[in-house]
Structure 1
Amino acid sequence: MNDVMNTAPQASAKINLVKARGSLVWDDQGKEYIDCTAQAWSNNLGANDPRVVEAAIAQLRDMTHIRPNFGSPAHTRLVAKLREVSPASLNQMGFALHGSLAGEMAMKLAFKNRPGAQNLLVLQDGYHGRSLATLGASWPHPNNPFLAIQPRFTRVPHPNPYRTRLGLDPETESQLCLGLLEDTILKGVDGGVAAVMMEPIQGNGGHIEFPRSYYKGVREICDRLGVLLIFDEVQTGFGRMGTMWAADYYDVLPDIIVFGKGVGGGFPLAGILADDKLKWFDEGEEALTFGHFPVSLAAGYAAVEAIVADNLCEKARDSGDYITARLKEMQSRHPLIGDVRGPGLMASIELVKDRTTKEPACRESQEVYRLGVERGVLFGESRYAGLGNLIKVKPPLDIERPLLAKALDVLDDVIGILEEQRS
């Protein structure tokens, strides 16, 4: 058992989950928790939605595995459904079972469409997965033992409105970072740039939302310099921000969107949406044995259909407004809360030891998680290995208001306890 548990993140290893329904999970001791992680932000629809489960069971009865060389009704239905909800001209798509492999698919397509280019740019606090390639595109990874065989990415600075450089106002820093991005494309690398890959809101990097000018500016620079723009929407897609996509929220159309997590309704599913103008893969360039796993495709169709039918984008906006108001009120009473972030159900707080110095309160964030578990609430954390100082409140989009209120009451209480201990 110890060997098995050692493969899990340390903070979660002490809890064995055995059951989930909606926004609740239960451990092997029968204890109930409000799940404000949506199980790694994946259960946008809520856990074990009957529509998803029944769709998966029906597909299991017909066929469990289809080689991707062949078509299937599950594949056809999901492609059609995703085209209904995808932004504008992003109508080409490919599938995988993990967001990391979908990210690699996006990288491959970018280089295929920019022959001769040797570089891909990512943001300094970006996170794109833990496969060999995407691990290299992510930061931080202390004592990374895989550097010798990882592809190297060029990381460029990005704005951080809470921690601006040199005390600049956020808009000025946004323009500074755009200038640095353009300089890097033109003079910072040898061999040309195929794409800029970025999360619209940085998840593992700290839930950093950029000024709107930054999104528009990156798009303009990429267009002018002939560089593709990839949005990694594995966390932000399928309603979590109160819109189907972050691309919709910021009114910026990337060339490729990487999606995952919320699309599968709890089943492993990820993929990319690509602009019609891009040349697709030739035979043999992108083929995964289980890439078209029909059970996941059937579950994904049911999940996306339910997200639309249940109007979960609007529910996420409404719950997000409620969370933000509650968190800002807590901020007025709790000096430990340095910043409140959104939008929608991408909600989080940054904990600091001092609001003037903004020194990260990493130990305190771990204690918030631990005390939350004791009180029956699972909060999310930022980064790992004790490096993060964020607490995330990202439950399923259809969480009932009483459960959400209870979770926020617990958060309020445990922060108060930590502040009393500190004083």
Structure 2
Amino acid sequence: MKGVDIFMKQININYTNNLISQNKNSILFTTNRPNIVMEHGKGMYLLDTEGKCYLDFIGGWAVNCLGHCPDIINDAIIKQAKTLINASPSFYNKPMLQFAKLLTDNSCFDRVFFSNSGSEANEGAIKLARKYGEKFLDGAYEIITMINSFHGRTLATMSATGKKVWENLYEPKVPGFKHVPLNDIDALKASITSKTCAIMLEPIQGEGGVNKADKVYIETISNICKEHGILLIFDEVQTGIGRTGKLFAYEHYGIEPDIMTLAKGIGGGYPLSALLTKEKLNIFEPGDQGGTYSAQPLGMAVGMAVVEEVINKKLFINAEIQGNYILKKLRELKDKYKLKNIRGNGLLIAFDLPCDKGTEIVDKCLHEGLILNSPRPSIIRLMPPLIVTEKDTDNMINILTKVLDLTL
């Protein structure tokens, strides 16, 4: 039987290699990918075409909040696909109306615009802020964002993003953005002028390395915005829908933003995003904002199923409990491997390595059947699905320690 298993494994390897070599040149190159083809997913695990199993601790980039292929999403897609997939954005549809009310009933916001990606939601927030500046602030258009922030990959959202490596990419970018250090209130105050219409930030910078905005800092910004009549925009693309231990991260701060953007977890793997805002910002005119697939029924049905599941099963509480357990287990490794700055809220967690071996560690973990992320050379990030258990974490720690033993 062992010989048969080896033979079948080699057949699967050959199949995968042929599949990649014969087809990869049809895909526009944008990133380096390993020679792995993912084929199946269930719960916390992915399986490739060779039958190898991977414990997924990035959850599709904080997207698969309910894990892979949950029944609740499968059922919602099948049911809605039999009824109405797309009616065009010119009409209301039933799940659109129901999902919008679910979001406003469970947040501090009054209105919702649906789109398909975090970039689109943030692009909409930028447009809305500039519309507000045009109408109420004598044409103010500048938006203050943070260094090391990430807001998307359209030209406007790349311009808003504070990534150093993007400074000279795709020039000239969209003007009107100022970048200041996170948690530096003096730098922020110095950047406000008569042209400022909004301050836009992630409550926890995910792609920047899991950098949290201080509570006093956010409270001060909220007061500054009220004082100057400018808008406060929370980009919760990565932190929203239970990720940080609350349904939305703004709840940790005791303030209410004027605008919030959501994506990733809101669709549980389905491409979906949303812009939420207060009634005072219901100021778009027909033609100002739109999208062919905005609020299409299939996506609305999926989003509603996902958010209802998170709320009804209180998965944000599980995120807090399991996040604390992960932090505890990581801190037990701190001295042995000289790990630093172990940090996070809920299931958005990171730690610093004593050297720039993040990519090497991620690659070795992948070989051992564990999927992690290194947003910077010296940082490891974890963002598992909200359904993660202590057993999953124990398995993750076992693989991680094996790799750290070989690497550090």
TM-score (norm 2): 0.90
Who is 1:166 aligned against? none
Of 63, 76, 83, the match for 2:84: 63
**Which residue is equivalent to 1:2?**
24
Q: Which moved more, 1:408-417 or 1:241-250?
A: 408-417
Partner of 2:306: 303
Q: Is the 8 A contact 1:133 1:150 kept in 2?
A: yes
The CA RMSD over aligned residues, in Å, is: 1.5
Match of 2:254 among 246, 251, 272: 251
Q: Please, which of 336, 343, 346 is the counterpart of residue 344 of structure 1?
A: 346
- After TM superposition, the structure 1 stretch with the greater mean CA deviation from structure 2, 236-245 or 74-83, is 74-83
CA distance in 2, matches of 1:91, 1:142: 35
Quickly say closer, same or farther: Cα 1:216–1:24, change in 2 above 3 A. Answer: same
In the other structure, the counterpart of 2:160 is 137
The partner residue of 1:373 within 363, 366, 369 is: 366
CA contact (8 A) 2:96 2:295 kept: yes
Residues 144-174 of structure 1 show CA distances to partners (whole Å, capped at 9, x for unaligned) of: 4411253452111223xxxxxxxxxxxxxxx
Task: Report the Cα distance in structure 2 between the residues aligned to 1:257 and 1:215, rounded to whole angstroms.
Answer: 14
Cα deviation code 1:22-80 (max 9, x no counterpart): 11111111111011111010011112111111111111112221211100011011112
Alignment partners' CA distance in 1, 2:27 and 2:370 = 21
Cα 1:8/1:293, change in 2 over 3 Å:
farther
**What is the SS of the residue equivalent to 1:342?**
strand
One-letter identity of the residue aligned with 2:179: R
> In the aligned structure 2, how far is the partner of 1:376 from the partner of 1:349?
20
2:178 is matched with 154
Residues 313-350 of structure 1: CA distance to partner in whole angstroms, max 9, x if unpaired?
Answer: 11001101100111111112211x12101111011112
Structure 1 segments of 4+ aligned residues over 6 angstroms from their partners: none
Give the alignment of 1:69-218 within 5 angstroms: 69-86=90-107, 88=108, 90-115=109-134, 116-138=139-161, 139-142=163-166, 144-159=168-183, 177-186=184-193, 192-218=195-221
Rounded Cα–Cα distance in structure 2 between residues aligned with 1:183 and 1:266: 40
Note the C-alpha offset of 1:13: 3.8
In 1, are the aligned partners of 2:158 and 2:166 still within 8 Å (CA)? no
Return the alpha-carbon distance in structure 2 between the equivalents of residues 298 and 348 of structure 1. 33
Unaligned runs of 5+ in 2: 1-22
C-alpha separation in 2, matches of 1:92 and 1:8: 35
- Cα gap change, 1:280/1:57 in structure 2, threshold over 3 Å: closer, same or farther? farther
8 Å Cα contact 1:34/1:376 also seen in 2: yes
Contact 1:66–1:290 at 8 Å: present in 2 too? no
Q: Per-residue deviation at 1:118?
A: 2.5
Which secondary structure state, in structure 2, belongs to the residue aligned with residue 218 of structure 1? helix
Q: Name the CA shift for 1:75/1:200 in 2 (closer, same or farther; >3 Å).
A: same
Q: CA contact under 8 A between 2:361 and 2:404: conserved in structure 1?
A: yes
% identical aligned pairs: 30
Residue 142 of structure 1, CA deviation: 4.6
SS in 1 for 2:82: helix
More displaced 10-residue stretch of structure 1: 76-85 or 298-307: 76-85
CA displacement 1:281-302 (0-9 Å, x = unmatched): 1111111011122111100000
Cα distance 1:35–1:291, how it changes in 2: closer, same or farther (>3 A)?
A: same
Gaps of 5+ in 1: 160-176, 354-360
Partner of 1:358: none
Q: Which amino acid aligns with 2:187?
A: L
Distance 2:26 2:402 in 1: 34
Q: Which residue of 2 aligns with 1:405?
A: 394
Equivalent residue number for residue 15 of structure 2: none
